[in-house]
Amino acid sequence: MIHEFEQKVYYADTDAYGVVWHGAYLRWLEMGRVLWCEQMGHNLSDLKAADILLPVVNLNVRYKASARLDDEIIILTWIEKFNNLSVTFKQAIKSKETGKTFIEATVDVVAINNDGKLYRKMPAVLVEVFEKALKCPASV
């Protein structure tokens, strides 16, 4: 299952060279993962109330091209793999107009409790969601 949303590039997203600042992409990736979870029925505030947090433990971003001011971009998010201890999100940011890929990212997330202790196994409420998502093939 792929989650997709659109975003306009604003002046605050760019750097002195007039291209999107590299850190702005990370904010959009985070938004994509949060919206993906909400699409699957899990609000992160509700998960926190249930003693489940989902921190990023590994982030790999490949910058392929630069988005620019006023570009309309599409952020795509899906599950690449799940192994009961962690889940790997695959994400891409593309031009809405041309389909050109600006970045590709792989993000590993684990589950911890509110005290920061790692769950040895992903909580059952999330296992069901991640397994369901893997059954819906992603084609980008």
Report the distance separating Cα 84 and Cα 95, nearest Å.
34
Q: Based on the structure, what is the number of domains in the chain? A: 1
Q: Is residue 45 part of a domain?
A: yes
* 15 catalytic per annotation: yes
Work out the percent of the chain whose per-residue pLDDT is above 70: 97
**Count helices and strands in the chain by DSSP H and E runs:** 3, 5
Q: How many CB atoms lie within 10 A of CB 91?
A: 26
Q: pTM for the complete prediction?
A: 0.92
| 59 belongs to a structural domain | yes
Domain-located, residue 76: yes
Strand-pair partners of 110: 86
- Out of 15, 70, 71, 108, which one is annotated catalytic? 15
Task: Find the mean pLDDT for residues 40-51.
Answer: 94
**How many angstroms from the chain centroid is the CA of residue 123?**
19
pLDDT, position 136:
76
Residue 29 lies in a domain: yes
Query: Average pLDDT, stretch 18-42?
Result: 96
pLDDT of residue 139: 59
Residue 42 lies in a domain: yes
Residue 34 lies in a domain: yes
Q: Does residue 90 lie in a domain region?
A: yes
Q: Is residue 140 part of a domain?
A: no
pLDDT tens, residue by residue, 1-24: 899 999 999 999 999 999 999 999
pLDDT digits (tens, 9 = 90+) for 69-101: 999 999 999 999 999 899 999 999 999 999 999
Tens digits of per-residue pLDDT, 101-128?
A: 999 999 999 999 999 999 999 999 999 9
Tell me the two tokens of residue 85.
Answer: 């201890």
Q: Give the count of beta carbons closer than 10 Å to the beta carbon of residue 104.
A: 17
Which domain does 131 fall in, by range? 3-135
For residue 139 the two structure tokens come to 């084609």
Q: What is the CATH number of the domain that holds 48?
A: 3.10.129.10
Given this model, what pLDDT does residue 137 score?
63
